[in-house]
């Protein structure tokens, strides 16, 4: 048994705060923006079933491994991996895994903030009645005008980054914990309001049938891989966020139970988002497989034509902002923690510099939708390249090496000690088998598919 460390950054007050925080990190644009449209594109119910199986076989085992590493190291991901590798008698080069997560979180937030800025802009649009009785062409022009204007995008990007860094600068207890106590209950309440609206104003039965009635003839190999990839990415794995949140986790909390609860809560949000969105889509004869434009170009048409649409449209985009905000604070926390640990900076100084650097990088994404749209590399603009590099390369590799370190580098006695499970018991043996053999193979398949090998 190792000597139990304490984080210099503080600790969550209790297990439930960790659950709310980790769920907040996991719940984001991926649940409310991406999950509904990829479900629509891949046939509905059968895709959802495959996605749920992937959460169980890939998502939960890797989340347990990442939380385990975080709590055992009690430092930023970089220093955690260096410390644990030394403890297990291995090379300090494992710190590169921590660096990969910190850099991935930084890069993701740089463009995530710009997309979250769209949601902020749409809160104003919906609240001011811009969408009311507007024809489809006009709503599409609103979105096109927003993305074509560097000034507007920079304003909303700057506002969202300011919101994020103000929370992070206040630390674990006064910043992250206070924000999470508000954000997550508010998110769930707003989501339930939207589901209630879908029940009363949408084609709810058809929406449920689409989501939960499997038609296995619509399952393709590509659809399985998309479900596998999304199950992995939606839980914020491989980017340092869950590891740093794990480092603030109380020592007496069960990693297995809390990981399962977080995965269930994250999945519930995705399914509730589908239950809120698809009945509205079907009631207005819209296309469920409309792709990324489903939220910003299709749903405003529905809100604009429905009674009370301005109010519920505003509620929906506030929900989207809260989901993005809860994820954003976890994306930058690993970098801030490293600066505090290694440079001796205050959290305020570290947050200011990290926020400015992220904001500056985000300008590339802003310009990729307008001034730089003609400049591409391998057919991808700046935003597409960042998205591809992080989502399809850095995160799968990060998750893979987290699994390999936890199951192959760390001794069985070490993982059993941190998981608080009997070393030769069924639960620990089953988890170790999954993380050693099943999960790495699945992640490798996702990675090879992403780079076009399979």
Q: Which domain holds residue 30?
A: 15-450
Q: What is the pLDDT of residue 349?
A: 97
Under DSSP, the state recorded for 286 is -
Tell me whether residue 9 is in a domain: no
This prediction's pTM: 0.89
Tell me whether residue 10 is in a domain: no
Q: Provide the mean pLDDT of the chain.
A: 89
Q: 139-156: per-residue pLDDT in tens?
A: 889 988 999 999 999 999
Q: What is the pLDDT of residue 1?
A: 44
Query: What gap in Å lies between CA 87 and CA 425, rounded to an integer?
Result: 24
Q: What is the pLDDT of residue 454?
A: 60
Tell me whether residue 376 is in a domain: yes
First to last CA, the chain: 42
Q: Exposed, middle or buried: residue 423 (CB in 10 Å: 0-12, 13-18, 19+)?
A: middle
Q: What is the pLDDT of residue 57?
A: 87
Tell me whether residue 4 is in a domain: no
- Mean pLDDT along residues 203-218: 88
Q: How confident is the model at residue 130 (pLDDT cuts 50, 70, 90)?
A: very high
Q: What is the pLDDT of residue 64?
A: 96
Tell me whether residue 177 is in a domain: yes
Query: What gap in Å lies between CA 362 and CA 158, rounded to an integer?
Result: 9
Percent residues over pLDDT 70 in the chain: 97
CATH assignment at residue 224? 1.20.1740.10
Q: 44-98: per-residue pLDDT in tens?
A: 889 999 999 989 988 999 999 999 999 999 999 999 999 999 999 999 899 999 9
Tell me whether residue 214 is in a domain: yes
DSSP readout, 390-406? Answer: IIIIIHHHHHHHHHHII
Query: What gap in Å lies between CA 425 and CA 409, rounded to an integer?
Result: 20
Number of domains the chain is built from: 1
pLDDT for 2 beyond 60: no
Contacts of 138 (CB under 8 A, 6+ apart): none
Between 178-201 and 309-343, two packed helices, what is the crossing angle to 10 degrees?
160
Q: What is the pLDDT of residue 13?
A: 83
With beta carbons less than 8 A apart as the criterion, state whether 30 and 116 touch.
Answer: no
Count the neighbouring beta carbons within 10 Å of the beta carbon of residue 149.
14
Q: What is the pLDDT of residue 403?
A: 94
Tell me whether residue 5 is in a domain: no
Under DSSP, the state recorded for 3 is P
Tell me whether residue 442 is in a domain: yes
Q: 321-380: per-residue pLDDT in tens?
A: 988 898 999 999 999 999 999 999 999 999 999 999 999 999 999 999 999 888 888 888
- Mean pLDDT along residues 284-307: 78
Comparing 169 with 443, the larger pLDDT belongs to 169
């Amino acid at each position: 048994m190792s000597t139990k460390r304490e984080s210099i950054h503080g600790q969550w007050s209790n297990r439930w705060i960790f659950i709310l925080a980790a769920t907040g990190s996991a719940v984001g644009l991926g649940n409310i923006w991406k999950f509904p449209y990829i479900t629509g594109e891949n046939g509905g119910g059968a895709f959802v079933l495959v996605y749920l199986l992937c959460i169980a076989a890939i998502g939960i085992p890797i989340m347990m491994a990442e939380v385990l590493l975080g709590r055992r190291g009690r430092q930023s991901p970089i220093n955690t991996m260096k410390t644990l590798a030394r403890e297990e008698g291995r090379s300090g080069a494992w710190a590169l895994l921590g660096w990969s997560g910190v850099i991935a979180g930084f890069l993701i937030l740089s463009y995530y903030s710009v997309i979250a800025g769209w949601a902020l802009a749409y809160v104003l649009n919906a609240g001011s009645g811009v969408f009311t009785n507007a024809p489809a062409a006009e709503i599409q022009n609103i979105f096109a005008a927003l993305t074509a204007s560097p000034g507007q995008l920079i304003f909303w990007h700057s506002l969202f980054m300011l919101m994020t860094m103000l929370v992070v600068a206040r630390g674990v207890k006064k910043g992250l914990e206070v924000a999470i106590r508000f954000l997550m209950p508010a998110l769930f309440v707003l989501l339930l309001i939207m589901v209630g609206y879908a029940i009363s104003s949408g084609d709810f039965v058809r929406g449920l049938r689409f989501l939960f009635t499997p038609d296995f003839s619509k399952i393709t190999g590509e659809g399985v891989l998309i479900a596998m990839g999304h199950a992995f990415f939606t839980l914020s794995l491989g980017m340092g966020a869950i590891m740093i949140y794990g480092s603030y986790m109380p020592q007496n909390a069960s990693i297995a139970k809390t990981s399962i609860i977080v995965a269930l809560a994250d999945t519930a949000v995705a399914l509730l988002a589908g239950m809120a969105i698809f009945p509205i889509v079907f009631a207005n004869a819209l296309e469920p497989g409309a792709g990324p434009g489903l939220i910003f170009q299709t749903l405003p048409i529905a809100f604009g034509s429905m009674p009370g649409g301005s109010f519920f449209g505003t509620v929906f985009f506030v929900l989207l902002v809260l989901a993005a905000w809860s994820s954003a604070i976890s994306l930058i926390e690993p970098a801030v923690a490293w600066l505090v640990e290694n440079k001796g900076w205050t959290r305020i100084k570290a947050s200011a510099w990290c926020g400015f650097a992220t904001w500056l990088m985000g300008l590339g994404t802003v310009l990729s939708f307008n001034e730089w749209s003609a400049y591409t590399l391998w057919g991808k603009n700046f935003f597409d390249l960042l998205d591809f590099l992080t989502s399809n390369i850095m995160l799968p590799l990060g998750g893979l090496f987290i699994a390999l370190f936890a199951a192959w580098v760390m001794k069985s006695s070490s993982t059993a000690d941190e998981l608080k499970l009997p070393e030769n018991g069924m639960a620990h043996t089953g988890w170790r088998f999954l993380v050693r053999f099943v999960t790495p193979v699945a992640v490798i398949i996702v990675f090879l598919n992403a780079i076009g090998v399979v």
